[in-house]
Amino acid sequence: MFDESYDFTVKERFLRYVKYDTQSNEESETFPSDPKQLELSKDLVKELKEIGLEDAYMNEYGYVFATLPSNTDKEVPVVAFIAHVDTAPAVTGKNVNPQIFENYQGGDIVLPNGKVIEEAKNPELKDMIGFEIITTDGTTLLGADDKAGVAEIIDAMNYLIKHPEVKHGTIRVCFTPDEEVGRGTEKLDIKELGAKYAYTIDGGTRGEIETETFSADAVDIKFFGKNVHPGYAKGKLVNAIKVAARFIEMLPKDKLSPETTEGREGYVHPISISGNEEETQVKFIIRDFVDEKLTEYEDYLEELVKKAVAEFPGSNYEFKRIEQYRNMKHIVDQHPEVEQYAIEALERLGIKPIQSAIRGGTDGSKLSYMGVPTPNLFAGGHNFHSVLEYVAREDMEAAVKTIVTLAQIWEEKS
């Protein structure tokens, strides 16, 4: 049973963490992609040591590790709890000014700059009557993705240290950089992680357990033209920008895109275009739950590329496919106890388990294929990557309870 008299620290920690600008950079080739992420990570090491995790440290790549030693005589598998410190590149995370709406009683939430979190478009709000909801001021994202997860893990470790009567095996804590740009595990050493199983605390709605993700590829297309001084270009100039534009125009408008798909439907999604008359680059991300569909979508894209190039004699192209991650379900299903114990933890706490598939990926996608089955658990946030992002204090506290209870169940079942 969870000690309901416990004085949670998760809200205070979270409000402190969101003040750090940890936005990652998808155009960078360094690791981490922006060193400003390290400022929060350095301070997290201090906090972990302050609560009693004496071995806490940050390695050369910006990963934070710490260990809560086992307090049982049983042989319990080492379990890791993981969250990422970076925030998404799409919306600024600088000068975050969190707003607190106490005792929410329903209806729309109007932010200071006039933007509105509409109740009709956020059905989860109906389950938050009486809750304390934390939002942005409407000018930045909040950072609940995934600073809520970071705060929840640290508070859960704090609880276990203060409640030695709760038996658990060895627990590893890991905070990663660059998850939002798909590089969260790029420099992660599995031996250094030192866990047999793991959970990312990076999901949304209270009660979510996600054991299935998209499989993902990137596609990098370069169109090549022939640049000539425009004053003397007749019959000579081949404009790569126009070739790329023709290709973009050929993309379907009623299917195969994020704005027209849902559920288990995949998509192709152009994310950037840049260049000039000589060379223009278009970048895509390709997503589906079925690996084979990725190849199907990519072949389709290349056919459109060929058609566009054919309309501009003298142009050419380069088509590059890049594997990003694969559906974790293929691995997690081989270790059913990882999901079953999470479900049991929620049920003990009176939280309805929501087993869902992520229309995206987590660090757990790659970790699972690296040999550490890693489902994703809720952190409580909503409207990630948006100025309309929000999280309820009560949901963050529920995540803390879930981590604690899950650690206890792993010990009991061993």
Structure tokens at 191: 């031996």
Query: Helices in 232-312 by DSSP H: which ranges?
Result: 240-250, 291-310
Tell me: the pLDDT tens digits for 179-221?
998 899 999 999 999 999 999 999 999 999 999 999 999 999 9
How many angstroms separate the CA atoms of 288 and 309, rounded?
27
DSSP type of residue 248:
H
Backbone angles phi, psi at 343, to 5 degrees: -60, -45
**110: CB partners within 8 A, 6+ apart:** 116
**What would the CATH number be for the domain defined by 215-325?**
3.30.70.360
CB 382 within 8 A of CB 206: no
Q: Is there a cis peptide before residue 108, judged by omega within 30 degrees of 0?
A: no
Residue among 152, 114, 178, 146 at smallest CA distance from 388 = 114
Tell me: the pLDDT tens digits for 254-280?
999 999 999 999 999 999 999 999 999
- pLDDT (0 to 100) of residue 226: 97
Mean pLDDT score of the chain, rounded to an integer? 96
Angle among Cα 182, 155, 18 to the nearest 5 degrees reads 50
Class of domain 10-213+327-413: alpha beta
Q: Give the mean pLDDT of 340-366.
A: 92
**227: CB partners within 8 A, 6+ apart:** 237, 276, 277, 278
Q: Which residues of the chain form CATH 3.30.70.360?
A: 215-325
Residue among 90, 17, 59, 15 at smallest CA distance from 285 = 90
- For the cut 90, the answer to whether the pLDDT of residue 362 exceeds it is no
Query: Which amino acids are annotated catalytic?
Result: 86, 179
CB 58 within 8 A of CB 174: no
pLDDT band at 153 (very low <50, low <70, confident <90, very high): very high
3-state DSSP call for residue 199?
Answer: strand
Q: Give the mean pLDDT of 303-319.
A: 98
Backbone angles phi, psi at 179, to 5 degrees: -65, -35
Pairing of the two strands 171-176 and 79-84: parallel
CA distances from 239 to 138, 223, 248, 257, 307 (A): 40, 9, 15, 27, 16
Q: Which residues of the chain form CATH 3.40.630.10?
A: 10-213+327-413
What pTM value is reported for the model?
0.89
CA distances from 211 to 178, 263, 340 (A): 21, 15, 11
